[in-house]
Structure 1
Amino acid sequence: MCGDVSKPDERIQLYFDFDLHGWSELIFVRGRQISGFRISGVFTDAPAALLDLCDAVLMNSATRVALCDEPGGVVVEVTPDAKQQHTVILSVYEIAPQLAGFDAHEAGRLVMTTRLKRRRLVGMLLTELWKSHKFLSEPSYQKGRDHFPHTRLSETNESWNQSALGPSFLT
């Protein structure tokens, strides 16, 4: 999914599954192409990592987060554009399967890169996290799931609401 990064990608969709027993998955869909990246709670607090991405996009700063599997995984990077400040470049680097528990500075093979409008990326990420946040109010959904950063999610949503990219559409 390495697309044309000269203009914002309006077709890509992002999904996040906060699954059972420490497993999660980050999924990108563009047209008929689906790329899913499994995340292990042993090595990565996936919701916190996605909130780190949101915070960086809201501040229009660069960041990288490691989303570790067992073994391997990906590093997700957002890079602001000085000329098109309403956009960021989102890149995903696959980390070799022999590595377990790596950090965000690990080099890897580029598997996806696209330009997204900052508001759209924040909206997709926070919407996916907000769904888990709301579902976790149900006792049956809580069983077998790791800690979730409810307070931090609300703080990031409020940051979005107060930012130039706001207001948030989540309540």
Structure 2
Amino acid sequence: MRADARKNYDHILTVARDVVAEHGVNASMRDIARRAGVGPATLLRHFPTREALFEALVCSKLDALTQKADELETSTRPDEAILSWFREWIAFARAQKGVVAMMAAAHTNPDSALYASCAAVHSASARLLARAQGEGRARADMNGDDLFGLMLALGWLVDLPSFAPRADHLIDIVTSAILGKPVEQRC
């Protein structure tokens, strides 16, 4: 990428991050272009779809999230790893308002710009679950798809203002169902 194009790209991402923080995933692409001081064609040249823009915005965060799963896989007991993973996921979901719904729509669509990121999170989740199941610490009747679905549902739920204050409690409920045992109450 040419230096001026890279500068535009980086500037658009910086502006988009601010606009999305204000308006969530429904932020106007036109507003992003206007605030960045570029034309709509320039924005679309760098990010041909809203999903492509969001993929660029969250890619490094999702990479860090999947890296965290790798660390949890080797450094923590399997049941603690699942609980920590859910907490990391919810922290991500809270910081990326509205992106969970986009990921839910993209995770089975290989043509989506978010597909690869979703696949990485799904794979990391499945590995953590398989490890816990292998040691008898998680339900045997669920798979990686189930876990990813629960993560998406919980991420969507805590994105709602009425449920956000209950996020930790909801994580405890979901993880205790996965692990087949109650966890410490936080209410």
Q: Which has the higher contact order (CA 8 A, sep 6+)?
A: 1
TM-score by length of 2: 0.30
Greater Cα radius of gyration, structure 1 or 2 = 2
Higher helix share: 2
Higher strand share: 1
TM-score by length of 1: 0.32
